Amino acid sequence: MMGPVMITQRLADSRGHAEHGWLDSHHTFSFADYYDPAHMGFRNLRVINEDRVEPGRGFGTHPHRDMEILSYVLEGGLEHRDSMGTGSVIRPGDVQVMSAGTGVTHSEFNASRTEPVHFLQIWLLPERRGLKPGYQQRSFGAAEKDGHLRLVASGDGRDDSVTIHTDASIYAGVFAAGQRAELPLAPGRHAWVHVARGAARVNGHDLKAGDALALSNEPAVTVEGTSGGEVLVFDLG
């Protein structure tokens, strides 16, 4: 039986904020020194951090385990190195996923000495603990996201998306004024919609960069462009 329809806004200005000089970070959910019991995550989505890192700076080598970690770059380049031997630079259009599993260490640095990097770091709880660590990176061209929601990550890697070991499908889209897309939600599914930049109207709610919407027991997610909105939609169990 489906429960009541629920739509909740999470506005950008209400997020947690950390300013470290080299790092400016906004936390959608509780993270590090920011703790809010009302915002501990949504379903298996645990972290959305919007980070801006100064040129030549970054996160030194540090460990993770039992978490699915995605990086989604909006501007600049993010240099990644990890204990699995992976080294790469992630740029706009790229989606990187690191399955921390039984344990992995990695570092993330701004790849430029002159330009800042602006990216989203997203964590989801895995379907089970103790998975084998893994890494994937894939590029999705602007045309694939123009005016519609492109699947970029999924539990089964379908449609050339990266694979995440959790019950979630993640879509990305860029919507100019007048563009519209609808993503049906199966009964019992939930959605989290995050506006990465610009502005968009989601299920009748006007959202700007950093704003988000949680939806439960809605038949679909409807995204309409208002001014160049780049949107991530999480279809969650």
pLDDT tens-place string over residues 167-183: 999 999 999 999 999 99
Q: What is the mean pLDDT of residues 98-115?
A: 88
- Taking the model in full, what pTM does it have? 0.95
Going by the DSSP 8-state scheme, the letter that residue 8 receives in this structure is E
- Residue 1 pLDDT grade (very low, low, confident, very high; cuts 50, 70, 90): very low
**pLDDT tens-place string over residues 27-76:** 999 999 999 999 999 999 999 999 999 999 988 787 889 999 999 999 99
Long-range Cβ contacts of 20-25 (<8 Å, 24+ apart): 21/54, 22/53, 22/54, 22/57, 22/58, 23/51, 23/52, 23/53, 23/54, 23/57, 24/51, 24/52, 25/49, 25/50, 25/51, 25/52
**pLDDT tens-place string over residues 186-227:** 999 999 999 999 999 999 999 999 999 999 999 999 999 998
Burial 14-40 (b: 16+ CB within 10 A, else e): ebbeeeeeebbbbbbbbbeebeeeebe
CATH: 3.40.190.10, 3.40.50.2000, 3.40.1280.10, 2.60.120.10. Which one for 6-236?
A: 2.60.120.10
Distance CA 2, CA 101 (A): 33
Residue 2, pLDDT score: 59
Residue 63, pLDDT score: 83
What residues does each domain of the chain span? Answer: 6-236
Q: With 80 as the cut, is the pLDDT of residue 17 above it?
A: yes
